Amino acid sequence: DTGVSQDPRHKITKRGQNVTFRCDPISEHNRLYWYRQTLGQGPEFLTYFQNEAQLEKSRLLSDRFSAERPKGSFSTLEIQRTEQGDSAMYLCASSLGGGAGETQYFGPGTRLLVL
């Protein structure tokens, strides 16, 4: 088992550009979560998937953000027209099942810097 992987690990972009991040969960994990972490804060929930279905989106996720998990395996998170306030660490996690008692396994994150 190779764990959760994320690509890229770092991204620097100019304001107004679009960026896309990829997450590969642990194989056979049905749930996939996206979080955002800014300096001095804990990870904040953005959205999650059960297989290919997106079940919930946080109010933090503006219309510029979109996430997909087309075949129920890897997921992508796209940010359109990036703003400086989007600079953060974007974390992906997966779990075998659902429920708040299920352990989530995290990837190393993608650190985004918007200039």
Partner 1 sequence: ILNVEQSPQSLHVQEGDSTNFTCSFPSSNFYALHWYRWETAKSPEALFVMTLNGDEKKKGRISATLNTKEGYSYLYIKGSQPEDSATYLCARGGRDDKIIFGKGTRLHILP
Q: Which two tokens stand for residue 94?
A: 């997966």
Contact status, residue 78 vs residue 19, Cβ threshold 8 Å: yes
The binder of partner 1 chosen from 15, 98, 113, 115 (CB under 8 A): 98
Contact status, residue 32 vs residue 96, Cβ threshold 8 Å: no
Give 70: exposed, middle or buried? Use CB within 10 Å, 0-12, 13-18, 19+: exposed
C-beta closer to partner 1: residue 75 or 109: 109
C-beta closer to partner 1: residue 56 or 83: 56
Long-range CB contact pairs, 65-68, < 8 A, 24+: 67/34
8 binds partner 1 (CB under 8 A): no
Residue 22: name the closest of 91, 102, 76, 78 by CA: 76
The binder of partner 1 chosen from 16, 48, 76, 85 (CB under 8 A): 48
C-beta closer to partner 1: residue 12 or 81: 12
Which listed range, 14-22, 59-67, 69-77, 101-109, lies at the site for partner 1 (CB under 8 A)? 101-109
For partner 1, the binding residues (CB under 8 A) are 3-4, 35, 40-45, 48, 56, 91, 98-109
